[in-house]
Amino acid sequence: QVQLVESGGGLVQAGGSLRLSCAASGRTFSVYAMGWFRQAPGKEREFVAAISWSGANTYYADSVKGRFTISRDNAKNTVYLQMNSLKPEDTAVYYCAQSSTLYTTATSQVSYGYWGQGTQVTVSS
Question: In this predicted model, what pLDDT tens digit does every residue of 53-99 receive, in sequence order?
Answer: 999 999 999 999 999 999 999 999 999 999 999 999 999 999 999 99
DSSP codes of every residue in 100-114:
EEET---SSGGGEEE
* β pairing state of 10-13 and 119-124: parallel
Q: What pLDDT band is residue 5 in, cutting at 50, 70 and 90?
A: very high
Stated length of the chain: 125
What confidence tens digit (pLDDT) does each residue in 105-116 have?
999 999 999 999
User: What per-residue confidence (pLDDT) applies to 120?
Assistant: 98
CA atoms of 50 and 123, how far apart (whole Å): 22
User: What per-residue confidence (pLDDT) applies to 111?
Assistant: 96
CA atoms of 81 and 63, how far apart (whole Å): 14
The sign of the CA dihedral 8, 113, 66, 11 is negative
Q: Quote the percentage of the chain above a pLDDT of 70.
A: 100
